[in-house]
Amino acid sequence: MDTIIIDNGRISYADSLKQQTELFEKKLEDKRDGTTTPDYLIFNEHNPVVTLGLHAHEYNVLFPKDELQKAGVDLFNINRGGDVTYHGPGQWTIYPIFDLEEMGIGIKEYVRRLEQVSIDTMAYFGLPAGRIEGASGVWTHIGSDFPRKVCAVGIKASRYITMHGIAFNVSTSPEDFHWINPCGFTDKGVTSLTLELGHSVSMPEAKEVLLDAFVSVFNLKISGK
């Protein structure tokens, strides 16, 4: 099955959520009708936003909603798994609209592959990264007193059709996360590719590596290639 790449560039969370929801629901409808349709892989760089997943604890948002709004940070309760996270400039949020049944994989394997995309991307740039048991996403400085997350994972799936996905910090500053306890953790931090490398990585360069990793890990056939 072909996969169509959508690059929204800088986009509000509301507009992006509307887009992916429409694609998700259309793919679900087509599956019920027995119609085979393309998968999608959507790249977004969001305006500042805090999102709360289905299992989020509101106390992990450290500022009142009106203070967030005054600072230009939107707040959304959404239907992905996980707790609280932040999206903003310098971060690629990537939303696969995949049919896992067509791929022959289950939800746990899907999440592992999403994490592997980030691990492989970090490896490309020469940075070690991996998983921590009991903590989703991809981390650096594993085994230290203060591991740091470079990629968050939060998904929704229905009839094995997926939405939401990963948030990979390219140049996002850890200070941008001060609005929240990221993913509910207080004993772990966040970091970015740029911070760990000590030099800047452009969003287009990071996107190219992330896309190559998705193609390899999920064996994608990109539409038009």
Say which residue the tokens 């349709």 belong to: 37
Instruction: Pick the catalytic residue from 11, 100, 183, 220.
Output: 183
Q: 95 is written with which tokens? A: 């939303």
| Residue at 92: amino acid letter | W
CB 3 within 8 A of CB 38: yes
The phi, psi pair for 10, rounded to 5°, reads -75, 125
Q: Count of CB atoms within 10 A of residue 69's CB?
A: 12
Alpha carbons 57 and 171: distance in angstroms, whole number: 27
Contacts of 36 (CB under 8 A, 6+ apart): 1, 30, 102
Active-site residue 183, yes or no?
yes
Q: What is the CA radius of gyration of the chain?
A: 17
| Active-site amino acid positions | 183
